[in-house]
């Protein structure tokens, strides 16, 4: 049977539930800008009714607990997209620093190559001119410097990326340790049927940070998240994390090993580490090899043309360029071998005034190198590749950024805190609290009336 005491209890219960809901609202508002925070909702449930004969009377509300609102699928998609974006950004950062070297300027390889042939052509009009000969030497030195600079730019980038590999691996190991440390707490909460709440948010945020560094696959288990790299190398299992290691490879570059010492470098393809390795081991060596080949074959062709003629002293032309026998390192080490303009082999008959061999030197410009193209076309192809790589990576970075924005919007629509919504909730729960308090006041008044009834009777 309903009584004032029951009503009072129901009101007090409502006050507690509303206080709890207000606390959740407060927490949501406080974390509105916290990265990785998933909004929480208070689980309010109707209390079991009391049956009095045929009459069933409600007993108010109870606060069952708090629940974070998540979308695991979108969360996973964000992690994957983050890996792709970080990989693209790592490559883009390097390519943007490489690109200026291959951009047409007053000192790029193409311009200096043209300048050298122009100076040779000018020399043909007066092969005994000291100033025209000096112009050829200067142009040759400028071209060699342009090759040296381009090579240095590429190798410096490569060295920087090599350092980044070690830093990324260290960062990955720190994060996996932190994730592993959170797993037991989540397992405990799961075991008691509670929501992971803040701990789960922290872990999700750490996994996102890890995704920015490397390719990672997440498997949800009762013992928390199990993490592996893209090729299945375990990173976190339960409370245990498995550190990656680095070692210097035969090429002088840092190689990544799993906890068993197995090489996994080539299997890391996304995230900052994947993008860094891709650029360090694929993109830059590819460009460097083409640059070395061009420098070596161009230098050899000029030297061969020199050997066909005679210098101003009537002696057979000596090498114009110093180039190593091996192709590797040619761009870095190419230099002009002769120091005196009279050593340029312009003559085809041994007389100083002959310019007959300039044609052979000039022919290097239009003849195909052993690689199959003329020097100019070879360089143009290199420019195309650098431009194409940078352009494609820029597009990829832009696409993943847009995609990530959309996915974050999607996640935010589920898990994000809306200040407007929370403000409304605040009003709603405040009103509910005030109403419940009014019930207490009312019941109190009724109690007073009831007690007063007794007092009147006694009088």
Partner 1 sequence: MRVTNMVPDVEYAMQQSQSALSVALQQVSTGLKVNQPSDNPAASANMVVSLASSANIDQYTKNVSSVLSQMETADSAISAAVTSLNTAITLGTSGASGTVTPANKQAIAAQVQGVLTSVIAQANTSYQGVYVFGGSASTTQPFVAASTTFTSTQGSAAAPLATTTALTAGSATTISDATTGDTFVFKAVAGDTVATLATAISGAVAVGTLSAGASATINATGQLAIGTNSSAAGMVVSSNDAVLGSMTAAPDTGVPNAYAYVGNSAVNSVQVGDSMDVATNLPGSQLFTTGPNVIASLKGLITALQTGTTLQIGAATTAVSTGLNYVAEQRIPLDNTISQLNDQDSYLGQETVTLTTQQTSLVGANMADAATNLSQAELTNSAVLAAAAKVLPQTLLNYLSPA
- Angstrom CA distances, 94 to 59, 83, 252, 280, stand at 67, 17, 19, 9
Residues in contact with partner 1, shown as a per-residue x/- string from 359 to 398 under the rule CB under 8 A: x--x--x----------xx-xxx-xxxxxx-xx--x----
Query: Min. distance of Cβ 355 from partner 1 in angstroms?
Result: 5
Q: What angle do CA 101, 212, 238 make, to 5 degrees?
A: 150
Q: Is 125 in the site for partner 1 (CB under 8 A)?
A: yes
Which residue lies nearer to partner 1 by CB, 188 or 349?
Answer: 349
CA distance linking residue 218 with residue 435, whole number of Å: 47
- Which helix (H) or strand (E) segment holds residue 68: the answer is strand 61-68
Interface stretch with partner 1, choices 49-57, 205-213, 246-254, 357-365 (CB under 8 A): 357-365
d(CA 385, CA 379): 10
SS3 content of the chain, % helix, strand, coil (to 5): 65, 10, 25
Q: Of all helices (H) and strands (E), which one includes residue 303?
A: helix 284-308
Positions 321 through 350 that interact with partner 1 (CB under 8 A): 347, 349
Check binding of 113 to partner 1 (CB under 8 A): yes
- Candidate list 420, 454, 456, 458; residue touching partner 1; CB under 8 A: 420
Q: Should residue 136 be labelled a site residue for partner 1 when binding is judged by CB under 8 A? A: no
* Dihedral sign (CA 110, 112, 115, 116): negative
Q: Is 412 in the site for partner 1 (CB under 8 A)?
A: yes
d(CA 168, CA 352): 62
Residue 64 engages partner 1 in binding (rule: CB under 8 A): no
Query: Using CB under 8 A as the criterion, what x/- string covers residues 263-292 for binding partner 1?
Result: ------------------------------
Q: Kindly state whether residue 421 participates in binding partner 1, applying the rule CB under 8 A.
A: yes
Which residue in this structure is represented by tokens 């792709």?
Answer: 84
Is residue 414 a contact residue for partner 1 (CB under 8 A)? yes
102 binds partner 1 (CB under 8 A): yes
Is residue 418 close enough to count as binding partner 1 by CB under 8 A?
Answer: yes
Ramachandran quadrant class, 314 (left: phi over 0; alpha: psi -120 to 50; beta: rest) = left
CA–chain centroid gap for 328, Å, is 30
Q: Which residues bind partner 1 (CB under 8 A)?
A: 32, 39, 95, 99-100, 102-104, 110-111, 113-115, 117-118, 121-122, 124-129, 347, 349, 351-356, 359, 362, 365, 376-377, 379-381, 383-388, 390-391, 394, 401-402, 405, 408-409, 412-414, 416-421, 423-424, 427
């Amino acid at each position: 049977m309903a009584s004032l005491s029951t009503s009072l209890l129901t009101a007090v219960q409502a006050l507690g539930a509303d206080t709890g809901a207000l606390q959740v609202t407060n927490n949501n508002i406080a974390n509105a800008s916290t990265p990785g925070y998933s909004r929480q909702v208070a689980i309010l449930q109707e209390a079991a009714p009391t049956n009095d004969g045929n009459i069933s009377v409600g007993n108010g509300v109870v606060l069952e607990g708090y629940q974070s609102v998540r979308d695991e699928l979108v969360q996973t998609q964000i992690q994957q997209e983050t890996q792709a974006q970080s990989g693209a950004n790592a490559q883009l950062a390097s390519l943007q620093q490489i690109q200026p070297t291959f951009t047409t300027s007053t000192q790029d390889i193409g311009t200096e190559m043209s300048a050298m042939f122009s100076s040779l052509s000018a020399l043909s009009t007066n092969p005994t001119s000291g100033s025209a000969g000096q112009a050829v030497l200067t142009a040759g030195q400028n071209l060699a410097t342009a090759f040296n600079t381009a090579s240095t730019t590429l190798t410096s980038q490569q060295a920087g990326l090599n350092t980044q590999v070690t830093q990324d691996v260290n960062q990955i190991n720190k994060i996996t340790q932190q994730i592993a440390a959170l797993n037991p707490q989540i397992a405990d909460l799961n075991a008691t049927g509670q929501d992971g709440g803040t701990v789960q948010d922290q872990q999700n945020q750490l996994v996102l940070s890890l995704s920015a560094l490397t390719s990672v696959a997440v498997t949800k288990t009762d013992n928390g998240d199990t993490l592996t790299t893209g090729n299945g190398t375990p990173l976190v299992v339960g409370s245990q994390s498995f550190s990656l290691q680095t070692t210097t490879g035969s090429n002088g570059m840092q190689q990544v090993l799993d906890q068993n010492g197995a090489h996994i470098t080539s299997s890391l393809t996304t995230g900052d580490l994947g993008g860094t390795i891709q650029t360090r081991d694929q993109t830059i060596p590819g460009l460097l090899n083409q640059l070395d080949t061009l420098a070596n074959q161009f230098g050899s062709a000029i030297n061969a043309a020199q050997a066909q003629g005679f210098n101003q002293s009537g002696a057979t032309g000596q090498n114009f360029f110093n180039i190593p026998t091996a192709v590797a390192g040619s761009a870095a080490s190419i230099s002009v071998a002769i120091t005196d303009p009279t050593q340029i082999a312009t003559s085809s008959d041994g007389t100083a005034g002959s310019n007959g061999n300039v044609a052979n030197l000039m022919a290097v410009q239009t003849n195909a190198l052993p690689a199959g193209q003329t020097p100019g076309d070879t360089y143009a192809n290199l420019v195309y590749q650098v431009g194409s790589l940078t352009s494609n990576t820029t597009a990829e970075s832009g696409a993943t950024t847009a995609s990530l924005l959309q996915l974050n919007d999607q996640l935010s629509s589920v898990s994000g805190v809306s200040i407007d919504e929370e403000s409304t909730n605040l009003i709603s729960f405040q009103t509910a609290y005030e109403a419940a308090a009014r019930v207490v006041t009312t019941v109190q008044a009724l109690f007073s009336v009831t007690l007063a009834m007794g007092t009147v009777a006694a009088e």
